[in-house]
Amino acid sequence: MNKNDLLLFIGDSITEAGRYEDPEQIGNSYVRYVRDFLAINKPETLPKIINKGIGGNRVPDLAERWKEDVLDLKPDYVSISIGINDVWRQLDSPQQEALSYDRFKAIYADLIEQVHTHTNAKVILMEPTVILEDVNAQGNKLLKPYVTAVQELAAEFNCLLVPTHQAFIDYLNTPDRQVLTTDGVHMNTTGNMLMAQTWLQAFLNER
């Protein structure tokens, strides 16, 4: 990575997190924490960072805007965090048609293939985090196949995997743990720190 590179983050509200109100358009999610860590520790190689998170997005929403928000920008790195809404909608909007595991994986795979076909970007896949801060919550049970899908896609397409879900589950099993979210899904500062730390460990350890 160098200062001429473009590092693009894309996802849902967990990624978006105030980017529209931020003059830098980075927001206050884990993307900010990653940017600030790199700015302090590797200022000579700090890339341009773009946040393309949009609240409420599912994998099909990414597909609709993939060309404009990813391919046309010709990034050097694409970090994808998606999947929470694909499952959460099953809980808060049961009347809405659920996106099956197979459909989720197929659309996601096509997005990765498009990046590999039209850019030279390294793809970074982040596991979906959690739905409620209880490892046994229904949301986290429903999430497991989607986490597995991301893991399988990372292996199939030789993408860097960021084990965010596992990091959250491990932390939730810690006796003296702190609260990570504001509502069971959206991160507070501690949750964003955990996401950023997990991302940085995966990214920097690969290099």
Catalogue the active-site residues: 13, 183, 186
Cα–Cα distance, 108 to 110 (Å, whole number): 5
DSSP, res 71: G
Cα–Cα distance, 2 to 193 (Å, whole number): 23
DSSP, res 45: G
Q: At 156, which helix (H) or strand (E)?
A: helix 138-156
Cα–Cα distance, 180 to 6 (Å, whole number): 29
To the nearest 10°, report the CA torsion of 37, 43, 45, 48: 70
Q: How many residues are listed for the chain in this entry? A: 207
